[in-house]
Amino acid sequence: MKEKENSPTAGRRLDSYFAILDAAAKVFNQKGYNRSTVQDIATAANLTKGGLYHHLSSKEQALYGINERILSSVLTDVGAVASDQQLSVSLRIQSVIELMARQHDKLVPYLRVALLDFGSLEGEYREQIFSLRHQLESIIKSLLAEGIKEGVIVDEDPDLLSKFLFGAVNWMCMWYQPSGKFSATAIGELFAQITLHGLAPAPEVPRSPNGIGGRVGQSVKPLFRAPSRLVPRI
């Protein structure tokens, strides 16, 4: 008989699965995905190899699970914020950036693995993660396109702008430390302000031949300053 998804047994299995993913992320960060083995993951999770196989069939499935957990979680949260028409588009962009930064407090090991080892996924696993990534990118591009339409974002290619945004936030996992000087929340707030000010439309100037910008040699005022609320942890 199939267990109900919200049954105590199903809940315990999900907790066990996440605990194994935590162990796998730790192993992959320490040894690298290619040098890690199923036995390494089992040892880190305090399981026998046979016990591990009740939850995972391979280390590639663990890598898939790490990527899937991150993307499924952020897709749900980002989708809810991006579609909230009661908020201005500027506030939605700000909230999405802050949300994506905040996940570093809990999922830094996952995010590092996803950034560095995604390329090791193959076949159906790779296709499924590509699909989730495409969904997230589509949400962000649509949100930026809305910002362009409303005049709060510079009129440039939303795909290019989304790559700028993802590059800044995703790379945070390579240097952010949850116990470090600044919290992920404070960093997210700063990143959001820099993004909104930096991508705000500038006074009209001639565009360069390649169609991007046109501000080389122009005298422009600084577009942002660091917010005073970005303070070190006490």
The domain spans of the chain are 1-57, 58-205+215-234
Of 38, 37, 45, residue with least CA distance to 16 = 45
> Is the pTM above the cut of 0.75?
yes
Distance CA 98, CA 96 (A): 5
| 106: Cβ contacts below 8 Å, ≥ 6 apart | none
Block residue for tokens 């605990």:
19
Token pair of 60, please?
């590639």
Q: Which CATH architecture has domain 1-57?
A: Orthogonal Bundle (1.10)
Q: 58-205+215-234 maps to which CATH number?
A: 1.10.357.10
User: What residues contact 149, with CB distance under 8 A and at least 6 apart?
Assistant: none
Mean pLDDT by 10 residues, the chain (234 residues): 45 75 95 94 92 90 96 94 94 95 91 93 96 96 95 92 92 91 92 91 64 46 44 57
Exposed/middle/buried for 208, CB within 10 Å: 0-12, 13-18, 19+?
exposed
Considering only CA atoms, which of 76, 115, 74 is closest in space to residue 97? 74
